[in-house]
Chain A
Amino acid sequence: MAKKVIKPVVSAAEAAKYVRPGMSIMIGGFNYGGIPYTLVEALVEAGTGDLTLISNDTAYEDVGHGKLVAKGQVKKVIASHVGLNKKTGQFFMEGKLELVLYPQGTFVECIRAAGFGLGGVLTPTGVGTVVEEGKQVIKINGQDYLLDLPLRADVAFIRAYKADRMGNLTYFGTNRNFNPIMATAADYVVAEVDSVVPIGELDPNEVVTPGILIDALVVKGDNYYANRT
């Protein structure tokens, strides 16, 4: 189904309703940077559970989507690094949480493969390590590569800088990270932005994510970290 040409600007609470129990959700960000804090906070408040969280890391237990894990809303984490959030490790060790770890470059490339219509990724990263377990090894020109499969989600919550009403997005600093890639790989994509400007105001040369990928926009709220990122 085609997405709307003029994107609805909704509240974070409304956007959080798109996420239903049992869904998979991609959340942008790396460490403190580029997390859609206002959207995540609304999802924490909604209390939606049984989620599969696909995110580079699980932040900190009291920061961003780290709270989703800490509150027990997540049944499975797919990430590259979870060491900063003690609850992720604790719940995993207690058998309350399923955890799948990818090398970071493979993680982003699997998301990109899903969004870009590719059947998989061949990467030299992880050959000869535990990452190889259960994966097909393919030799090309004498070098071994691991076959990794595409990774997509029901919903993506991403963070950008400016949006126009058609959903075109620009980014700021190291907040960019996984956000533009996740925008390509989910059925429903919500972007949290600093501001929404009229159509025609963004320089088309500076748009990173084309609006055709976006379903809805949320303006960042008065949130401690949203104000600082």
Chain B
Amino acid sequence: MTVLGGIGFSAPWLLWGLIALPILWLILRAVPPAPIRRRFPGVALLLGLKDDESVSDRTPWWLLALRILAVAAVIIGLAGPILNPSSPQTEGSGPLLIVLDGSWAGATRWPQQAEALDVQLARAARSNRTVAFLTLTRPEELTFQSADVLRTRLAGLQPAPWQPSAANITRAIETMGQSGGFETLWFSDGLDYPGRSDVLAALQAQGAVEIYQTGANVMAMAAAVYEDGAINLSAKRALAGEPREVTLNAQGRDPAGNIRTLASIPAVFEQGQVDASAALALPAELRARITRFDIAGQRSAGATTLVDDALRRREVALIAAREDREGLELLSPLHYIEKALAPTADLIHGSLNDVLPANPDVIVLADVATVTETEQAALLEWIENGGMLVRFAGPRIAASNISRDAEDPLMPVRLRAGGRSVGGAMSWGEPKSLEKFKDSSPFFGLDIPDDVVVSAQIVAQPDPTLSNRVIASLNDGTPLVTRKAIGQGQVVLFHVTATAEWSTLPLSGLFVQMMERLAISSSSASNDTQSLQGTVWTPLRVMDGFGVLSDAGNLPGVDGADLANSPAGPDVRPGIYVSGDRQIARNVVTLDTQLALADWPAGVPVRGMNISPETALAGWLLSFSILLLLADVIASLALSGRLLKRGGIIAVWMIATILQPPAPATAQNADADAFALNATSELTLAYVVTGVSSIDEISQAGLRGLSDTLYFRTSVEPANPIGVDLENDELAFFPMLYWPITPDQARPSDAAYVKLNEYLRSGGMILFDTRDANIAGFGAASPNGRKLQSLAAPLDIPPLEPLPSDHVLTRTFYLLQDFPGRYTGRDIWVEASPPDAEQVEGMPFRNLNDGVTPVVIGGNDWAAAWAVSSSGAPMVPIGRGFTGERQREIAYRFGVNLVMHVLTGNYKSDQVHVPALLDRLGQ
């Protein structure tokens, strides 16, 4: 490649073609433009006329320059110019290994890195080097292949949500040893990790190593902790430098279910500090919706903190049979449980009826023996929907008959009468201690302190189902805690009291841990090894390197201890894990993680990622030359007189007509406001634009004729009619719509139908005209009839009947019995009169339905009969001679009646009562 002035050429010898340009100039200059031949009879008059001397027969200089420029652009374009060519010194030879850290720390700048990789691969491809990738977070065998092949795989490279582990590094060094010498480009994420220097040493043993690393700081976020009513968020950075403020966002679902930023809070890295923290106080409802926190502007798994039960404080309702405030505080049946739950749960007090509507997560009934029937039903429904009922035994339950003969729905087991006491003053034996929890129990793995003893309990009846329901028992095998699932929820019964009367359990730390295991309480502070011991957690959703959650699929479960302690890796992926009812989040960065900047030995060259990519200019230059040649065509045509003025005018006219929307007074042209003003400043009749221009024209002319007639004969003085586009225009402005049916018209959209129905409901009227002379009788026999059926199907149209002879439409202005248009079909259909309408004695008409019929359907092609041209002359011949004129007149009268009916409703119908009213007034 030759580089000239910062631009490289892949075929520089082609540039010699530029020398030929002056010769081309001379040749082009000598050749005048080709003449145009024209037939012209007036040539006889032209004979003998000489051209002026000044007229040049040569191509004008600017046209020559245009052409020369175009040719030069072609020559330079073909020479393959490349902007930002890589200097030849950086291109090496031999195999090239590209090492990527591939950890979450590089995720934010991954696109930049991919770009830089692409540039490097392009260079390698040009110098025919074989290239291999080695991602330290997912080391694989090195396969050196053509760089072009690898370029296609670039998009598939994704950062892992963890740092290279010791095992990864060992494996990577092993694979390096198997290949021969190579040069190395190492794209570092900028974060230090153990074993990095080993990798560097191994690479240097194979050949030169060059490091690419962005100068940007790596930021991460540790798990959020709920403390003292606020969420403590902490951000970390790798390089302690200038003060910097970052924004921490709380993401979650809004009430509509969309993920959005629910809250954000700034956190400030002080000068020289690597930690920043902020406390975010949020209402409990909002807090419960948060699913993750992240640092604004960062897009990596490390800068994301997933939220688990730790923030989701459960609401626990505590109900005791008797609030004995007179007694000692320590004897209150709820005292210990309150103490156990208060730090980690929101407590609700009150009666059962009061707390149930609050839909708590847990209801604790301490020694409550009986509940009313309605309470029981409500409780059962609540449990079936996922509630958890925790009951504690006590003297009342022991004394009652609850769950004695048959199992109570709110008790997990049947109970024996009376309970038992062991190790008391009046009994033999020692107080019983607890047996180790079985591995099927949710308490499995909890250590049982020696001082937990039970001296009294209620005893379960042996049942076939009993052994399945016991989750904790005494060392003599009698159940201590039993559990039964109801629907999505469960009932848990502690066979001892919630106070220290019957056992020392409430006094011990075990009690608190049991509460946690039952997911009655939750606390991130307790996610330590001890409390997670013996549990297995199934991944529900896992994060990728960018911090995006995806379904975990069938990833294997993780041991609780590993989940708490092991660093993130392929086996312990960051994400949401579940075990039973509990959820915990595993994050990449924990509170005590320290981020350290990758530090490279002095001998290793470190470069930034800002490699300006090579840009091939050939395409641009060739396009430019084509544009120039196009300009040349136009200029040459103009010069030679072939570009006629009229042609130009035609082109302008065509563009203008294309840009200018067609149709006369169609509503969609007007701006909405102008349309509204136009439609409402005066009464306006409207028709539905069908899109068939001949029909729209007749509709416009027909309504114009009708408007004129109304203007001359009545006090209704409409303005010029308007065509309405059902899709875009507001219909509410028009008292009636004329809708001619044509088989070709488009079916309105659903939104338009919503508007139409709204229009019909709010008093509008539509005159449907099938224009087929009723030959189909509104069946599907004519295409127009079929179209009407399909068009009107979604409309909210009441039952119809053929217009009865005493309908108010027959007398709103003129007395009419026929409603002809261009055709004289008798039947038109209107809203059916109410079934109870009867003719009153002495009245000429029935007292018919109030209001205006929302539709009038006919096929007489009224618009054609009404249509007048702008000069007022009828446009469509109607009938023959005087009869035809009479028919047109009746058609106008029908139109007048129709508009009067629309505007005055049943006013004329009410007039029939006038004699009766006058009669009454006379008395």
A and B interact physically: no
Partner-B contacts on A (CB < 8 A): none
